Amino acid sequence: MAVDFRFIIIGRGMMGAAAARHLSSMADGIALIGPREPEERKAHHGVFASHYDEARITRTFDGNLAWGTFAACSLDRYREIEARSGISFYSEVGCLFAVPEKGEQDYIERALTVSRTLGSDIETIAPSELGGRFPYLHVDPDFTGYFERTRAGHINPRALVRAQAKLAEQGGVSLVEATATSVRDAGSHVEVMAGDKSYSAERVLVAAGGFSNFHALLPRPVDIRVMARTVAFYEIGEREMAIFGDMPSTIVLGDREEDHIYILPPVRYPDGKTYLKLGGDTEALSFNQLEDAGAWFRSDGNAAERDHLSRVALQLMPGLAGCPVTSAPCVANFTPTGYPYAGFTQSPRIAVLTGGNFVAAKSSDELGRLGAVVLAEGRLGDEDFGRELTPVFA
């Protein structure tokens, strides 16, 4: 039978929109299906996406070669995407890792090795010099800095998704603003129900992030844990901008895992205010149902985690004292392999791209490219870490 599209990509987030853009240069007959960001988050009862934000850290410094490669490939395309779309999203302000003498040294050694492989320029800053170079940050005297000046900083994920979707549409991709609720292999083709309409395609890529298992999108659920994450926002005024205005993106690896923290420089948000954002990676709440994930996204996050982040923030950055603090929810999805998934399901016509592992925003363009390759060519080779990206199913 004739199909509506050759390929359908489900999920208009960071990976899905990137996959659509890349696929548009490989094939014709493509649709990208996904809803817009809801205007009123707390009144929305559909699906959500974690890119509904203005800042994500981007860097190549990483203790894993695959993740470092994904990030480097993405970073190297940012300026081209900006130029072609006319949408700015990348701030190359650098990224600083601050690490205590006995903290995460194995990770740092691996990251330095990966950086040499990728040709990244990482400056090691001695403990005696760290405070002078980065006076906004107050850490113990045994902390060493690892500073990536170029190919690092932060991206605006909302703007990046807009840029990817714009270029995809210019490349011939049909944008369908609807939520996909079912995907069915019909033997000779795939049927997708989105909104109140049905669409058919030869192959489908499900790139629905933490919501990949929450509708009937896959023949079998992928093995992922969808975890709650709370982020804290400090509202910044003129006094604080004098202290933090020129800071790079910052990751502090404390003596204990619960003290690890990431910090975004001050960024202006849609409400017209400027916020410094920070978060951690220790919350244990997970979601197995759409209703629970939706309720989390309609909340302000976890108050206890916000307070914990605030205590750590004021220890590291006493210049924030007195700033108004708010919080917001996010989710992260983790795979047992530690790698994202990019490959086919039990159906040879339905593929999946998900598994950000809390670090994929900086790598989303390359991960989207890999999803496009899966759809167009049917597999990933070893040069694209195909074995590592093989999906695992529950």
- CATH number, domain at 30? 3.50.50.60
Residue type, 32: L
Confidence of residue 229 (pLDDT cuts 50, 70, 90): very high
Indicate whether 383 pLDDT > 80. Answer: yes
For range 349-374, the mean pLDDT: 97
Top pLDDT among 164 and 260 is at 164
Q: Is residue 313 part of a domain?
A: yes
Confidence of residue 389 (pLDDT cuts 50, 70, 90): very high
Indicate whether 196 pLDDT > 80. Answer: yes
Does 373 lie in the same domain as 248? no
pLDDT digit string (tens) for 295-352?
Answer: 999 999 999 999 999 999 999 999 999 999 999 999 999 999 999 999 999 999 999 9
CATH of the domain at 233: 3.30.9.10
In three state form, how does the secondary structure of the chain look? CCCCEEEEEECCCHHHHHHHHHHHCCCCCEEEECCCCCCCHHHCCCCCCCCCCCCEEECCCCCCHHHHHHHHHHHHHHHHHHHHHCCCCEECCCEEEEECCCCCHHHHHHHHHHHHHHCCCEEEECHHHHHHHCCCCCCCCCCEEEEECCCCEEECHHHHHHHHHHHHHHCCCEEECCCEEEEEECCCCEEEEECCEEEEEEEEEECCHHHCCCCECCCCCECCEEEEEEEEEEECCHHHHHHHCCCCEEEECCCCHHHCEEEEEEEECCCCCEEEEEECCCCCCEECCHHHHHHHHCCCCCHHHHHHHHHHHHHHCHHHCCCCEEEEEEEEEECCCCCCEEEECCCCCEEEEECCCCCCHHHHHHHHHHHHHHHHHCCCCHHHCCCCCCCCEC
Q: Is residue 81 part of a domain?
A: no
Indicate whether 9 pLDDT > 80. Answer: yes
Indicate whether 228 pLDDT > 80. Answer: yes
Number of structural domains in the chain:
2
Indicate whether 103 pLDDT > 80. Answer: no
Confidence of residue 378 (pLDDT cuts 50, 70, 90): very high
Name the percent of the chain lying above pLDDT 70: 99
Indicate whether 147 pLDDT > 80. Answer: yes
pLDDT digit string (tens) for 33-82?
Answer: 999 999 999 999 999 998 999 999 999 999 999 999 999 999 999 999 99
Residue ranges making up the domain that contains 180: 5-52+157-224+336-384
What's residue 104's pLDDT? 82
What's residue 132's pLDDT? 97
Does 229 lie in the same domain as 274? yes
pLDDT digit string (tens) for 264-308?
Answer: 999 999 999 999 999 998 889 999 999 999 999 999 999 999 999
What's residue 2's pLDDT? 86
Domain boundary among 311, 333, 355: 333
Does 319 lie in the same domain as 282? yes
What's residue 186's pLDDT? 97
What's residue 111's pLDDT? 97
What's residue 388's pLDDT? 98
Does 175 lie in the same domain as 38? yes
What's residue 219's pLDDT? 97
Q: Is residue 78 part of a domain?
A: no
Does 164 lie in the same domain as 144? no
Confidence of residue 260 (pLDDT cuts 50, 70, 90): confident
Tell me the C-alpha distance between 292 and 187, whole Å: 34
Domain boundary among 298, 313, 333: 333
Does 99 lie in the same domain as 219? no
Does 165 lie in the same domain as 209? yes
Does 252 lie in the same domain as 376? no
What's residue 292's pLDDT? 96
Does 253 lie in the same domain as 162? no
Whole-model pTM? 0.96
pLDDT digit string (tens) for 170-185?
Answer: 999 999 999 999 999 9
Domain boundary among 316, 333, 350: 333
For the chain, give the mean pLDDT: 96
Does 379 lie in the same domain as 234? no
For range 114-129, the mean pLDDT: 97
Q: Is residue 272 part of a domain?
A: yes
Does 236 lie in the same domain as 321? yes
